[in-house]
């Protein structure tokens, strides 16, 4: 079920009305848990067992870790149980076929072919997101930063909370469980104007922008070796717009729906295409994932505490794992290493100077790096990545295939860039939501009317559902 689908409106209206009609806090949480399971089950009921199993596993592991305070070996045992259980399920569904095929290819290259058992598994929607969330619960208890949830209901709702269940933001247990412990109040916990503004902005990003530029990107990536140089860059730029509109739009709508229910989710995007460096970009793009990798992988590896060489190795390792988290393919691993390389170089004299560039030049550099990296991120294979980059950097005047970029595409992309800058520099959202309620409502109605003609009639699945 997509936020931009018509069937989501009656579903959420029913959830919202019943939620606030119930007076008992426990009844509200039970209702939200049931709604979350229905929301997830709309894709495939069979995978609900994985969410419930993960919840039970970490409820038991968290309690055992906490009760074993002072007995570090016992705590490590139960932490290992949580890690093996959660990452084992994730690894099986997401990476089994990838590693099986890679092993078969490698042994064939060595002249010792084997028959690898490829299972063609279906990837459960959102498994990468809720696995990281449940792990944050056990890890924070292990570190002494969190006490276990008092009731299984709270942990179950934390894991399955439908606004961010399938594509984030990745919420940490220590920031969401305290909200579940307190009764929600409409007047205190709900900012209606902010919620409506965020949902509208997210809807426009996804349905009016991302879904409408997607065909441009799809056409180029379908035949990367046949397009002209101009169309290669158009396709890359279109995907840069699509992935931002798609994912940040989902995050905006997730935050808005949670806010209407009285819960606050962390911000996930902060105008990443205005970052002055790749390092700054990763503090603005998918902020909650970057935070997770920083807290639970980069810092445990040693972070910045060791030698310069060790720090660079930690950066490269973290980004390579991040790439593999995004997708089970070597193109994704190389995408992570590509970004890791720039993160390392920006800590040296080679690219350290970029942090001192004016905003416009720094943003241009960062966006160019991100745009080139999309050849790895979006392409179906390494061969397609090489073909597209060859077309992009070796001048070719005409397409050999049938794709020709529409004349309106480049002006549209320029306009979107201007809007991206204006919303940051002018703090337009803050100013809009500070208007009196009647003025805000009239403005919202007018903007909805202007946006309707641009709504895509073919909503595409969210890109991050595949991760």
Residue 260 burial class via C-beta count within 10 angstroms: exposed 0-12, middle 13-18, buried 19 and up: buried
- pLDDT mean over 413-425: 68
Contacts of 455 (CB under 8 A, 6+ apart): 207, 208
Identify the burial level of 395 via C-beta atoms within 10 angstroms of its C-beta, where 0-12 means exposed, 13-18 middle and 19 or more buried.
exposed
Whether 29 and 77 map to the same domain: the answer is yes
Which of 19, 286, 326, 339 is the catalytic position?
326
Above pLDDT 70, what percent of the chain? 92
* Domain termination site, one of 132, 150, 183: 183
Q: 3-state SS of 382-447?
A: HHHHHHHHHHHHCCCCCCCCCCCCCCCHHHHHHHHHHHHHHHHHCCHHHHHHCCCHHHHHHHHHHH
Residues 66 and 211 in one domain: no
Average pLDDT over residues 74-93: 92
Do 227 and 177 lie in one domain? The reply is no
Q: Which of 371, 363, 305, 362 is nearest to 338 (CA)?
A: 371
The pLDDT value recorded for residue 226 is 86
Shared-domain flag, residues 155 and 197 = no
Predicted confidence (pLDDT) per residue in 274-333, tens digit: 899 999 999 999 999 999 999 999 999 998 888 889 999 999 999 999 999 988 889 999
Find the DSSP H helices in 228-298: 229-260, 278-281, 287-293
The predicted model gives 257-263 an average pLDDT of: 96
The one-character DSSP state at 354 is: G
Range name among 26-30, 92-96, 155-159, 189-193 with the lowest pLDDT average? 92-96
Q: Are 32 and 57 in contact (CB under 8 A)?
A: no
Domain that holds residue 433: 192-276+357-460
Q: Indicate whether 17 and 123 sit together in one domain.
A: yes
Picking from 183, 211, 230, the residue at the C-terminal end of a domain is 183
219 plus 116 within the same structural domain: no
Whether 448 maps to a domain, the answer reads: yes
pLDDT at 401: 52
Helix (H, G, I), strand (E, B) or coil at 119: coil
The answer to whether the beta carbons of residues 180 and 277 sit under 8 Å apart is no
Does 125 share its domain with 28?
yes
CA atoms within 13 A on the CB side of 161: 32
47 & 72 share domain:
yes
Q: Residues 84, 204: one domain?
A: no
In the three-class reduction of DSSP (H, G, I as helix; E, B as strand; rest coil), residue 241 is classed as helix
Local confidence band at 419 (pLDDT 50, 70, 90 cut-offs): low
**In a domain? residue 467:** no
The band of 462, judged by pLDDT with boundaries at 50, 70 and 90, is: confident
Per the domain annotation, does 243 fall within a domain? yes
Q: How many domains does the chain have?
A: 2
Query: Of 145, 161, 183, which closes a domain?
Result: 183
Nearest to 40 by CA among 129, 145, 120, 160: 160
**Is 25 among the residues known to form the active site?**
no
Q: Is 156 found in the same domain as 56?
A: yes
d(CA 464, CA 243): 9
Q: Please give the average per-residue pLDDT across 7-24, as a whole number.
A: 93
Residue 173 parent element (H or E):
helix 173-181
């Amino acid at each position: 079920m997509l936020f931009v689908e018509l069937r989501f409106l009656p579903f959420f209206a029913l959830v919202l009305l019943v939620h606030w009609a119930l007076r008992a806090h426990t009844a509200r949480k039970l209702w939200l848990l049931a709604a979350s399971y229905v929301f997830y089950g709309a894709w495939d009921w069979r995978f609900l067992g994985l969410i419930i199993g993960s919840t039970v596993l970490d409820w038991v592991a968290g309690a055992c870790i906490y009760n074993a305070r002072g007995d570090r070996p016992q705590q490590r045992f139960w932490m290992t149980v949580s890690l093996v259980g959660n990452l084992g399920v994730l690894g099986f569904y997401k990476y089994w076929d990838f590693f099986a095929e890679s092993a078969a290819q490698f042994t064939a290259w060595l002249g010792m072919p084997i028959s690898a058992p490829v299972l063609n598994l279906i990837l459960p929607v959102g498994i990468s997101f809720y696995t990281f969330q449940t792990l944050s619960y056990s890890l924070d208890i292990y570190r002494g930063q969190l006490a276990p949830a008092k009731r299984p209901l709270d942990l179950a709702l934390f894991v399955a909370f439908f606004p961010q269940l399938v594509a984030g933001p990745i919420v940490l247990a220590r920031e969401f469980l305290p909200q579940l412990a307190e009764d929600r109040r409409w007047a205190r916990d709900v900012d209606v104007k902010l919620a409506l503004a965020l949902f509208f902005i997210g809807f426009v990003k996804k349905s009016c922008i991302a879904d409408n530029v997607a065909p441009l990107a799809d056409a180029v990536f379908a035949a990367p070796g046949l397009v002209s140089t101009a169309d290669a860059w158009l396709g890359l730029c279109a995907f840069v717009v699509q992935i931002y509109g798609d994912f940040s739009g989902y995050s905006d709508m997730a935050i808005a729906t949670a806010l209407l229910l009285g819960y606050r989710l962390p911000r996930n995007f902060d105008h990443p295409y205005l970052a002055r460096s790749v390092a700054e970009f990763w503090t603005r793009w998918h902020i909650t994932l970057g935070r997770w990798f920083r807290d639970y992988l980069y810092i445990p590896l040693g972070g910045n505490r060791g030698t310069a060489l060790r720090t660079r190795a930690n950066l490269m390792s973290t980004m390579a794992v991040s790439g593999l988290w995004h997708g089970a393919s070597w193109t994704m691993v190389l995408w992570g290493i590509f970004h890791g390389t720039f993160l390392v170089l920006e800590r040296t004299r080679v690219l350290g100077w970029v942090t001192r560039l004016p905003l416009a030049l720094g943003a241009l550099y960062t966006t160019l790096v991100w745009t080139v990296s999309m050849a790895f991120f979006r392409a179906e294979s390494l061969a397609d990545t090489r073909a597209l980059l060859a077309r992009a950097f070796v001048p070719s005047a005409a397409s050999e295939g049938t794709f020709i970029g529409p004349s309106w595409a480049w002006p549209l992309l320029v306009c979107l860039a201007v809007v991206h800058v204006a919303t940051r520099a002018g703090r337009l959202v803050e100013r809009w939501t500070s208007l009196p309620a009647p003025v805000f409502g009239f403005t919202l109605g007018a903007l909805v009317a202007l946006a309707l003609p641009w709504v895509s009639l073919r909503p595409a699945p969210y890109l991050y559902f595949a991760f």
